[in-house]
Structure 1
């Protein structure tokens, strides 16, 4: 049974409904269609507004919503999200650092050439899914987002890395140290990674050539390989290396970066090489492997065997334009090799690297 007040409310609601229907019928009968349509459109507008913007049940719609990756309470921060998105199941990431100078060019940029190598390489296309591109300025970040890669914008207080930093210039050295600090943070988050400069062509998947032994903490490329993969007399190159995250490698990067202010005029690679010869690695209990240039080649010491080469680094070269010119020649040789019959060719043809040789005179 309904109470008296409920019955009265129901009668009032019925009367109001009847009045509304009568008024609407009157509008229609009087041909006031414009008023009717206006009321109807207003109703639809209010309804759509409620559906789209109701903060309780719906999220505001945006066609660019996929660009937003803000950390919510209890979630990872921006770096944590970027690493998680790029990581393999075993928490391994491929990391490269770029700035505006590396993503722009008259014809082809360094980044374009770097990504081309993944496209033309053997078993390398899928590795782009595990590539995290660290952007030193806004222009390179925008380019990275446009290419739909995994991107992270590296903020460095008071420093702008938005132009080409010529080898061994003051800004070049600052950029290298900024990179070292960042990579140390990645290790502290428990991620193993391959670091690669973008002037390294990935012609084959490098993982089969890298040791899977977890007791090997660091595997690093060399400018001149002396034949012994465990010899610290190999001159190291920090443009390509694989490192495992553990307390010893974290401590190594902390000690390495701590030497920044006491190493004026030295790039971070020189400082690390000094630590190697001071037996800092040994004292930390680190096992280091040095990569054979037969497989991890570079312009300082070319691999003559195109059937074995895995990566090619434009080391011993001063400018970006020279690197692009000579690496493009390597890509051309690689394409020729892939088109050729089995065993028809086994060597690179363009090993003079003339643009890089001339870059030192600039």
Structure 2
């Protein structure tokens, strides 16, 4: 982009295979409102050969990170070594890109882009993020914007340092760590704009992205994300038909997802 912003996601072969999450992720950009142009600025970082090969067959901007032997997406439980390793890879990659002078929008690949979320990113804040409070935990919403700055570099280097001293430190959410370390440099966005299966919102006029949170099983995740995109297609078609009376489309709309995904009270994936 003109302001040196790149959109970045990370996945392995479990999500990056035919008929899996990556297909739905890219489709969301194509059918979202004013989101198609962002595909030219979306970079997919593949964790293994399978994900890299498939990504290059359907998207022009893919690269492979150092091989990770374990199947990260199959692991359950936030304290598993694979979960912490994925966070290490993520933050190391963010640091390298930020140091090159690029601003970053990091998005999980199971986040469906339905509208342009950039309208909610503060160009003056070092980090723009949406956080969910569940019990005593501060959880991420699968999307964050980070500007290339001295503060961002210092923060990401701090995470590198802390994980050496305390290997489980990265088990915290990015939101929780940003609250404690970035404070005044962080802009928090209304969680209603960035939805998830844990707390689905039927206010379709407000939702910009939808993530398959509270969903461990890959088949259930793909099934329910397909429902999200199909519902979005039907909704936008209805709005076009009732352009003179937009409220007619809103009043009768509701998401069908989550359906197969287990809505566990304390789960977040």
CA contact (8 A) 1:92 1:191 kept: yes
Q: How far apart in 1 are the matches of 2:191 and 2:260?
A: 20
Shift of the 172–203 alpha-carbon distance from structure 1 to 2, 3 Å rule, reads same
Q: How far apart in 2 are the matches of 1:254 and 1:321?
A: 36
Deviation at 1:259, TM superposition (A): 1.7
Q: How far apart in 2 are the matches of 1:269 and 1:186?
A: 22
Shift of the 180–161 alpha-carbon distance from structure 1 to 2, 3 Å rule, reads farther
Where does residue 281 of structure 1 map in the other structure?
Answer: 182
Where does residue 312 of structure 1 map in the other structure?
Answer: 210
Deviation at 1:166, TM superposition (A): 1.8
- Aligned partner of residue 160 in structure 2, secondary structure: helix
CA contact (8 A) 1:165 1:172 kept: no
In structure 1, which of residues 267, 270, 276 is the aligned counterpart of residue 172 of structure 2?
270
Q: Does 1:296 align with 2:207?
A: no
- What is the root-mean-square deviation in Å for CA atoms of aligned residues? 2.5
Deviation at 1:276, TM superposition (A): 4.1
In structure 1, which of residues 154, 160, 171 is the aligned counterpart of residue 69 of structure 2?
160
CA contact (8 A) 1:218 1:288 kept: yes
Where does residue 331 of structure 1 map in the other structure?
Answer: 229
- For residues 115-169 of structure 1, what are the alpha-carbon distances to aligned partners after superposition, in whole Å with 9 as ceiling and x for unaligned? 111111111111100001111111111112212421121115xx42456332333
Deviation at 1:301, TM superposition (A): 2.1
Deviation at 1:196, TM superposition (A): 0.2
Where does residue 104 of structure 2 map in the other structure?
Answer: 193
The structure with the largest alpha-carbon Rg is 1
Q: Does 1:253 align with 2:160?
A: no
- Aligned partner of residue 220 in structure 1, secondary structure: strand
CA contact (8 A) 2:139 2:176 kept: no
Where does residue 44 of structure 1 map in the other structure?
Answer: none
Where does residue 7 of structure 1 map in the other structure?
Answer: none
CA contact (8 A) 1:98 1:198 kept: yes
- For residues 72-93 of structure 1, what are the alpha-carbon distances to aligned partners after superposition, in whole Å with 9 as ceiling and x for unaligned? xxxxxxxxxxxxxxxx121100
Deviation at 1:252, TM superposition (A): 0.2
Q: Does 1:350 align with 2:263?
A: no
In structure 2, which of residues 32, 39, 43 is the aligned counterpart of residue 132 of structure 1?
43
Equivalences for residues 103-182 of structure 1 within 5 A: 103-105=16-18, 108-155=19-66, 159-162=68-71, 164-167=73-76, 168=78, 169-182=80-93
Shift of the 304–293 alpha-carbon distance from structure 1 to 2, 3 Å rule, reads farther
TM-score normalised by structure 1 residue count: 0.64
In structure 2, which of residues 125, 129, 132 is the aligned counterpart of residue 220 of structure 1?
129
CA contact (8 A) 2:9 2:106 kept: yes
Structure number with higher strand proportion: 2
Shift of the 358–295 alpha-carbon distance from structure 1 to 2, 3 Å rule, reads closer
TM-score normalised by structure 2 residue count: 0.85
